[in-house]
């Protein structure tokens, strides 16, 4: 007689990593990024626009990058820790220069209001597109009902090269992605199409991987052997159109009180790739 009450559970882990990753590269990455300089003398820093659904962790990602360089947990980009909040905590366009100690590094993150599925809610696609191309000044307060107009005091009609963002980063929460409203994906596609036509590259930073996969929660180094994380990234690529090579899973700092080497390694690797991709775009403009 066979056992009818038990089933063999499938192995959640691959035999070999599907993406190679050096977990001991934190200090090498940090030094490399500290010594980075933009490929054009006309640009003092690489501007990176960070967009994402409410609660995905875009402000937390900026803080995590800052924490990796500061060697302590920071919270310069204010993030809301309220569970289930349906409104974006970020209301005003603000730029964050990343520092290592007292040294300002040559990349700047632009933080914006969170995206929402509803047409007249959250940041508007037209605002995000205008920010990418440098038409919106810092301090602009987002209006959920209407995108910025050409007559607004925060609109710049003739931005220079240093005003522009050279990469758009979508921050997407892995634990919620399968439930993401198709209307929100449609917003992302509108943005993607418009800026892709002008050669602006896009990257996805996939957050909350530890809340998605118990294997990764127990051991972050299982990231690239986790079948679930690989599946989430493939799904994300299919829905957003961003290639897998431009999707980076990370764990943001959340309840930690001190930096962790493995968290920093993932964060800094994502940043390295973002900066490289953005600088490639800058070189293309200059050529």
**Quick count: other Cβ atoms within 10 Å of Cβ 273?**
17
* pLDDT tens digits for range 17-43: 999 999 999 999 999 999 999 999 889
Quote the percentage of the chain above a pLDDT of 70.
87
In a domain, 54, yes or no: yes
Q: Does pLDDT of 83 surpass 60?
A: no
**Residue 218 pLDDT:** 96
* pLDDT tens digits for range 247-269: 999 999 988 999 999 999 999 99
Residue with tokens 């990418």: 132
**Residue 72 pLDDT:** 95
* pLDDT tens digits for range 173-228: 998 765 456 777 787 888 888 888 889 999 999 999 999 999 999 999 999 999 99
Q: Look up the domain containing 84 and give its range.
A: 44-286
**Residue 1 pLDDT:** 47
Task: Please give the tally of structural domains in the chain.
Answer: 1
**Residue 179 pLDDT:** 47
What does the pLDDT average to over 138-161? 80
CA atoms 146, 166, 109, 260: torsion sign: positive
Q: Are 115 and 58 in contact (CB under 8 A)?
A: no
More confident residue, 215 or 8: 215
DSSP state of 226: B
> Would you state the structure tokens that stand for residue 36, as one six-digit string?
């980075």
Closest CA to 166 of 203, 112, 127, 213: 203
Q: Are 282 and 47 in contact (CB under 8 A)?
A: no
In a domain, 219, yes or no: yes
**Quick count: other Cβ atoms within 10 Å of Cβ 52?**
27
* pLDDT tens digits for range 32-72: 999 999 999 889 999 999 988 878 888 899 999 999 999 99
CATH number, domain containing residue 220: 3.40.50.300
In a domain, 55, yes or no: yes
What does the pLDDT average to over 156-173? 91
In a domain, 123, yes or no: yes
In a domain, 245, yes or no: yes
* pLDDT tens digits for range 86-115: 444 567 888 999 999 889 999 999 988 777
Closest CA to 241 of 279, 191, 277, 284: 191
Strand order in the sheet with 202-207: 94-100, 103-111, 46-52, 165-173, 202-207, 247-249
CA atoms 73, 140, 85, 184: torsion sign: negative
**Residue 240 pLDDT:** 86
In a domain, 33, yes or no: no
**Residue 144 pLDDT:** 67
In a domain, 13, yes or no: no
**Residue 175 pLDDT:** 81
The residues, ordered by sequence, that sit 6+ positions from 37 with a Cβ below 8 Å of its Cβ are 106
In a domain, 127, yes or no: yes
DSSP state of 136: B
Phi, psi of 63 (to 5 degrees): -65, -35
Q: Does pLDDT of 8 surpass 60?
A: yes
Q: How far apart are CA 110 and CA 260, in angstroms?
A: 25
Average pLDDT, the chain: 86
């Amino acid at each position: 007689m066979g056992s009818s009450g038990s089933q063999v559970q499938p192995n959640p882990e691959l035999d070999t990593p599907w993406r190679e990753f050096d977990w001991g590269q934190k200090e090498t990455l940090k030094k490399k990024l500290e010594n980075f300089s933009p490929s054009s003398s006309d640009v003092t820093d690489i501007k990176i626009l960070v967009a994402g659904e409410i609660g995905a962790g875009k402000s937390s990602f900026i803080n995590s990058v800052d924490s990796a360089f500061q060697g302590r947990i920071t919270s310069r980009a204010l993030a809301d820790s309220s569970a289930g909040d349906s409104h974006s905590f970020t209301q005003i366009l603000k730029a964050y220069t990343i520092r290592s100690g007292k040294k300002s590094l040559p990349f700047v993150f632009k933080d914006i209001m969170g995206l929402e599925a509803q047409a007249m809610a959250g940041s508007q696609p037209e605002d995000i597109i205008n920010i990418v191309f440098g038409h919106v000044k810092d301090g602009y307060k987002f209006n959920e009902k209407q995108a910025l107009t050409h007559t607004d005091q925060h609109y710049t009609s003739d931005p220079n090269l240093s005003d522009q963002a050279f990469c758009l980063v979508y921050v997407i929460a892995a634990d919620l992605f399968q439930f993401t409203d198709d209307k929100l994906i449609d917003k992302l596609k509108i943005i993607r199409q418009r800026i892709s036509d002008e050669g602006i590259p896009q990257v996805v930073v996939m957050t909350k991987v530890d809340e998605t996969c118990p294997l990764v929660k127990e051991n972050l180094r299982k990231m690239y052997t986790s079948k679930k994380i690989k599946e989430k990234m493939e799904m994300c690529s299919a829905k957003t159109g961003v290639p897998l090579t431009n999707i980076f899973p990370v764990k943001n700092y959340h309840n930690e009180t001190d930096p962790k080497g493995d968290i920093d390694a993932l964060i800094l690797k994502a940043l390295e790739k973002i900066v490289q991709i953005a600088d490639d775009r800058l070189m293309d403009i200059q050529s």
